[in-house]
Structure 1
Amino acid sequence: MAAELTPLAISVLALLKEEPMHAYEMYQLLVKRHTHWLVKVRPGSLYHTVERLARLNYVRATGTERAGNRPERTTYELTPEGDDALTRRVETGIEEYVHEYPLFPVVLSEAHNLDAEDAVLRFRSRIVDLERWVTEIDGALAGAQERQVPEVYWMGGDYLRTQLISERDWLATTIERIESKDLPWQPRNNP
């Protein structure tokens, strides 16, 4: 069953391993910790994930409260089955490589449909965007270090930073190769 856990479900179970909380609190904490850089976090999908985890008996409701005019909020806690599922999913996720299908390699494989100058312009634009992301991550990582958060808790951010820098550097080299004609660029065929 642990293989059924989505990245968001893993994050929810990990939060509940720390302490019981309600879904909105989970959402706020995931954003505060910048987990939304690693996992697609939206309030609706978070509530759906918590409900699914409850059906699987990985989490259970411990109570409902209402503060003022706010809607009722149900607090959840991790069950022993949820703790076991989290552990098993982290273990297999580390051990086993899973080939994913991100968009960028697909569009990169079709970049030959652009003129070389246009492709280079768009590569440069992507580099600027990548550098912005690296700067944001650097700030978050520096903040974690200043707060003396143990490195083991922000390794995911460091890994993401390393990936972004690698992509940026690869794109810069590719631009140099296109401009020096070391990478011959075939003109697109117009129908």
Structure 2
Amino acid sequence: MECSRGGLNPLSVLVLGLLNERSRMHPYEMVQTLIARHEDRFANVRPGSLYHAVDRLTEMGLIRVADVERQGNRPERTLYETTDAGVAAMTDRVAGMLASSKQEYPELFLAVAQAHELDRRTVLEMLAQRLDAMRSELDDITGARHTLLAAGKPELFYLDLGVRITTLTAQIGWLEELVEAMSTGAMVWTDDPDFRAGDLRAQNERAPDSSSPHPHDQPAPRDSTKG
């Protein structure tokens, strides 16, 4: 059964990647491995969600049952493996994600776009909390990357840490500049005593001056050769 590029969610890509690497695994082992590798940073790795992903991938023909094990009185364990279609779908999806510049919807962008709905003090307090969390995350990721590099682990297996460090560093820098501007009063805000929302909104939305003729509306120069 075919799978479109958009048909594989992040957890499904992780499952296919594991099975392509390990050949045969049972779902609970997949959960343990993904969490041990901290790959739950890419998707919501929970037993229930992973079992659902395994069922869906099986229905799509991208993985299949390889074996059913039973040891003593323990419950049966179903082992899965990828199919050729599964490997093709996974590599196609990864290639598509690398090439795509599809619009995403990060909450941070929405939050700063609508921050003017809050008073200055609240915005500064919330940004202080966010910056503390982001700096802590940046320290953790930077430390993890240094540890992996020092251990001689090939960087190609954790390239995401590099892009996350760069992104976090840029976002922290921008937010720090915003906090500075708001703290010093350099940026006007909605709860300023002399704030006039109507004037600012009008400036933001003002259309070009219609009294000025458009270049195409100017009269054509007169041909002096004509009487």
TM-score between both structures, scaled by the size of structure 1: 0.90
1:29 aligns with 2:27: no
**Larger % of helix: which?**
1
**Which structure has the greater CA radius of gyration?**
2
1:107 aligns with 2:111: yes
Asked which structure has the greater RCO (Cα within 8 Å, sep 6+), the reply is 1
**d(CA) in 1 for partners of 2:73, 2:134:** 42
Distance 1:2 1:70, change over 3 A: farther
1:120 matched to which residue of 2? 124
Aligned partner (choices 83, 88, 103) of residue 84 of structure 1: 88
RMSD between aligned alpha carbons?
1.9
1:41 aligns with 2:16: no
**d(CA) in 1 for partners of 2:144, 2:162:** 10
**d(CA) in 1 for partners of 2:173, 2:75:** 48
**d(CA) in 2 for partners of 1:18, 1:80:** 13
**d(CA) in 2 for partners of 1:138, 1:4:** 33
**d(CA) in 1 for partners of 2:159, 2:151:** 15
1:162 matched to which residue of 2? 166
Aligned partner (choices 16, 19, 29) of residue 16 of structure 1: 19
Gaps of 5+ in 1: none
Distance 1:103 1:72, change over 3 A: farther
Distance 1:67 1:120, change over 3 A: farther
Aligned partner (choices 161, 181, 201) of residue 177 of structure 1: 181
2:62 matched to which residue of 1? 58
Deviation per residue, 1:59-103 (Å, 9 max, x gap): 111112245665432111111000100111111111111111222
**d(CA) in 2 for partners of 1:157, 1:170:** 20
Counterpart residue identity of residue 2, structure 1:
R
Number of aligned residue pairs: 189
